[in-house]
A and B are shown apart, each in its own frame.
Chain A
């Protein structure tokens, strides 16, 4: 058997940002004509590595070798000149352009002054046939489904001569049948000598398609396995991803009562592409209970929150304190005691150009202490803001500064403090300690525990396993919009949790 060439190799890659080491000592060796998967959780350093690979970032230390030659590249254009092409998770397509126009943009074939559309069509047909990536060239992208769009993105880089393709979470938006089509296309590509780097967290899929798998955790590469040569189970991979030690759960007393605060049945949300991003989800949360939702981001968590708030259309039953609230407006839901710590604080949780005390009122502008009747109560709001700043350790010189001036962590602390004030009955906490330092994180957890003991019901969505296991009374695992299993944080093992989150199967 001939020795397989190395298409791409990374040695000793380091990348630092202010305050955080994103990649430390990353080593990667990708064989030509193979599918090489990089797996890891959120925050494992995959996205930084990917940016380095396609030229968006430069590594601080380390070497990159392409086809045996050590190189450097400073931009995506330089990377593509070396044959490395990026297929983004969030497609970069112009809806009102045809497929053809999207692919040739920036590299247009010309005949004199005009566009040589015929020539482009011929060239692209050849490519499409060679790699089995059929797309309708003259359709507007807006008419096309996700599978076609992905094929367009792949053709975009192939058209520019890429021999190494990097796919970022390519199956995140695909339904199972489309995943099969994609994998068939990938096999055809590798048969023609194209190298594929496949970044994912879905282990079942990775095991189906990859020739080699590199596992990342906490910014570094921890293992590299070859599933075609040695049997490796998904659970083993999951353990490598997640770490063999899980945080110790909190063993204090159980405060769960019998009173059902929120009952959700057959909740479903369909996105613009027709995909069920939330697929028949049902759960119950009692007073004094924290229900944790585990799962890699993008599996339906954000849409569940939007549905509960009434921001997005949903079908199914939502009962809050035994009243059907499915038809209630967002304001009514919030006024009746539903609080939310949003996932994207700058988009949904703050008014960046307003002072802190006005931000304290956001979401609660119709209630005390912020308002009395139709009038606002700035004095009350300011006083309460000072209290929140004190109790939740928001680092700021005063409460008149704009929210945009605070660091992300302090913004988050303000939001947490705001939402936990005013005696909510039900709290949706979406990544509540994201960006918060360890000391403050512990303090927020304590606030949550105290509130729970007093009867608060909490839906906790988080990617931080410490947080989930430490706070939840029960954890539901969300994958592709469905709850695949419910586990007990006291007894769950890393293998089981990791497998469920990544779809590796029990």
Chain B
């Protein structure tokens, strides 16, 4: 009973925020002369088809990994805004290496994953080192590293032999041989495959929950985020924590490119989707850094992105969902702050009541 109540409370804020966002979006739609009901009907209709669901799951997989990478940092009050640069760099490096491997799948895929994690982790590690040794805010340094990463990638693909001509006007890393691909599976009667990487994402989610809640390291991490002074008194080495957390966050970020890379594109080109990093931040904020909340957020976001692709056909710019998403994020963070302040008071009241009842019954 108490657990259900707590679950309800923790869902209340995001649901309220979502409701607010829907209201704002509807107002905008009406202001520009669109039929609100029709729009949502279109989205739902398209989004619930089997082929769309496959697309949604694939996108959600990518979003989920990105959000987990960000969330690990958030749990320690570290803001890794550099997931973009980290996953692109990690993805390119992994694709480049994988393109040259001719090993069986059970070797090729783990190696590819390993390269992505290491490269992206190291990139994040630069920001971690700057923070620990020079006190540079990781917010600005990771953002700068994002832009630098773009330059490094551009140079590597265009001007070195890492990049090859994939097709007319498109340069990318050498195409990964079939042995390096990750197999997917088909849902019902759709043609689109769901990435096999979804299972890796599930593992990452479980791992995230496990490390954070069941290991000493995770405890130290959460304690540092909740109360640095208490963590210090309990023996945590804060500099070490910052460095390691940034490395891990970056490492997971490296995985973000892999669902797409190993499941459909099989080469890293300059057209590789950028922007998953910021989506990850948004979803981590909405999901409050909780593995289930993030999953919910990732699915929601993916649903919105996929189902809105239809909207252009009916004269509504599909970017309406970006407004929806933006307002949701802002509303959620505000709502959570309000809920948090009330929660403490509510809990104290509950404890007082429960104890009074106990004494009456005793």
Contacts and interface: CB of A to CB of B under 8 A. Distances in A.
A and B in direct contact, judged by CB atoms within 8 A: yes
Interface of A: 309, 311, 329-335, 340, 342, 347-354, 358, 361-366, 371, 374-376, 378, 395-398, 400-402, 404-406
Given A349-B233, A363-B235, A404-B348, A354 B355 contact: no
Contacts of B232: 311, 330, 348
A6 to B, nearest CB: 45
A331 B237 CA distance: 8
B230 interface: yes
A303 to B, nearest CB: 14
B215 A376 contact: yes
B358 A351 contact: no
A366 B216 contact: yes
A427 to B, nearest CB: 14
B216 A363 contact: no
Nearest to B344: A404
A396 B350 CA distance: 10
B219 A350 contact: no
Interface in B1-58: 2
B148 interface: no
A371 B235 contact: no
A352 B164 CA distance: 56
B227 interface: yes
B28 to A, nearest CB: 36
A384 to B, nearest CB: 15
Contacts of B354: 397
Contacts of A365: 216, 219-220, 223, 234-235
A350 B227 CA distance: 8
Interface string B334-353: 00000000001001101100
Given A374-B215, A374-B217, A375-B214, A362 B230 contact: yes
A396 B215 contact: no
Contact of A354 (B215, B218, B226, B234): B226
Contacts of B226: 351-354
A378 B226 CA distance: 19
B3 to A, nearest CB: 8
A330 B235 contact: yes
Contacts of A334: 234-235
Contacts of B348: 404-405
Contacts of B347: 401-402, 404-405
Contacts of B222: 351, 354
B214 A378 contact: yes
Most-contacted residue by chain A among B217, B234, B237, B355 (CB, 10 A): B234
Nearest to A371: B216
B229 interface: yes
- Sorting the interface of chain B by its residue count into under 10, 10 to 19, 20 to 34 or 35 or more gives 20 to 34
A378 B213 CA distance: 9
A354 B223 CA distance: 9
Contacts of A335: 235
Q: Which label, helix, strand, loop or mixed, suits the secondary structure of the B interface?
A: helix
Nearest to B214: A376
Nearest to A372: B216
Given A396-B355, A397-B355, A329 B217 contact: no
B236 interface: yes
A259 to B, nearest CB: 26
15 contacts: A334-B234, A334-B235, A347-B229, A350-B230, A351-B222, A351-B227, A352-B227, A353-B226, A354-B222, A354-B223, A363-B234, A374-B217, A376-B216, A378-B213, A402-B344
Contacts of A405: 344, 347-348, 350-351
A396 B233 contact: no
A382 to B, nearest CB: 13
Nearest to A358: B219
Contacts of B233: 309, 311, 330, 340, 342, 348-349, 363
B185 to A, nearest CB: 33
Contacts of A374: 215-217
Given A331-B237, A365-B219, A397-B354, A376 B213 contact: yes
Contacts of B2: 398, 400
A154 B226 CA distance: 38
A361 B351 CA distance: 22
Given A329-B237, A404-B344, A404-B348, A351 B230 contact: yes
Nearest to B227: A351
Contacts of B213: 376, 378
A342 B220 CA distance: 19
A349 B226 CA distance: 12
Contact of A406 (B217, B230, B236, B351): B351
Contact of A395 (B223, B237, B355): B355
A334 B233 CA distance: 9
A402 to B, nearest CB: 6
A406 B354 CA distance: 12
A366 B347 CA distance: 29
Contacts of A311: 232-233
Nearest to A405: B347
Contacts of A351: 222-223, 226-227, 230
